[in-house]
Structure 1
Amino acid sequence: MAQITKVKSGSILEDRESYSRVVAVDNWIFMSLTAGRDYKTRKMPETAVGQAEQAFRNVEGALASVGATLGDVVRSRVFIPRQSDVVDVMGFIGERFRGIDPASCVTCSPLGGPEYLFEIEITAYRGAGEQEQKRLTISL
């Protein structure tokens, strides 16, 4: 039987909209779209990079709650509404994921409100970061 763990982060939206920040099914970890809001102070930085930095703190805390780390991330979906922010935000993300190299998707589309300048969705596999990895480079 699968071990299922559901984690709430303290975001008021999780209760209002009936969802979990993280659902872990055995070693698979699925994280909801995560914004750059500090869940304790309710404050959100005014820049896309600032929001990305806070979102990564939120992601790392959520992963830690189920015994995982950023190194266990196997897939990310990044949402940056303003194309003008993409280069700076992806530069930050490139540094955070350096050596982890998850599968990634970046989309420039509207988010839940104009104050949201960055959100990220994560899929992880607990322990993936500690496993031996085979890395290939292909040309198509």
Structure 2
Amino acid sequence: MNVRHISTGSPFEEQIGYSRAVVADGWVFVSGTTGYDYATMTLPDSVEDQCRNTLDTIGKALIEAGSSLDHVVRVNYILTDGADFPACWPITSQVFAKAKPAATMIQATLMEPAMKIEIEVTARIPE
């Protein structure tokens, strides 16, 4: 099996020991991604801005893998407060308008108190 690892350069990837994405057998598995702007290592306050940053980071990893947000087949949303999820719907419905992936929303505590959303996706590489 041919496996390729993709990194965003996030210090978390090195500290924890994971890849932003792993490409294997035509699939792209993107790790849970939070709303940090990894260029500046800043985390916006609003769940909407964190959601946008998260999907931007995921989108870049998918492009590097040879896929895109349009090829996502599964998405898991993890929020610290489930009541915040509807504020993200305009963003997620636009980003996934074409893919329409299977989706799950889970409420859980994240690694840092300021983190409001984490998103994990699985995508196909188009033939």
| Bin for the TM-score computed over the shorter chain | over 0.9
- How far does residue 26 in structure 1 lie from its aligned partner after superposition? 2.3
Query: Which runs of structure 1 show a deviation greater than 3 angstroms over 4 or more consecutive aligned residues?
Result: none
C-alpha distance in structure 2 between counterparts of 1:81 and 1:91, whole Å: 19
Residues 15-44 of structure 1 deviation map (CA, whole Å, 9 limit, x = unaligned)? 111110010002111010001101110011
Give aligned pairs, total: 127
Unaligned segments of structure 1, at least 5 residues? 129-140
TM-align CA RMSD? 1.2
Residues 67-126 of structure 1 deviation map (CA, whole Å, 9 limit, x = unaligned)? 111111000000111122111112321221113110100111111111101110010110
Q: Which residue of 2 aligns with 1:94?
A: 93
- How far does residue 14 in structure 1 lie from its aligned partner after superposition? 0.6
Identity %: 28
> Would the aligned equivalents of 2:71 and 2:124 in 1 still touch at CA under 8 Å?
yes
Unaligned segments of structure 2, at least 5 residues? none
What secondary structure, in the 3-state scheme, does the structure 2 residue paired with 1:91 have? helix
C-alpha distance in structure 1 between counterparts of 2:82 and 2:60, whole Å: 28
Q: Which residue of 1 aligns with 2:46?
A: 47
- Which structure carries more strand by proportion? 2
> Would the aligned equivalents of 2:82 and 2:106 in 1 still touch at CA under 8 Å?
no
> Larger Rg: 1 or 2?
1
What secondary structure, in the 3-state scheme, does the structure 2 residue paired with 1:107 have? strand
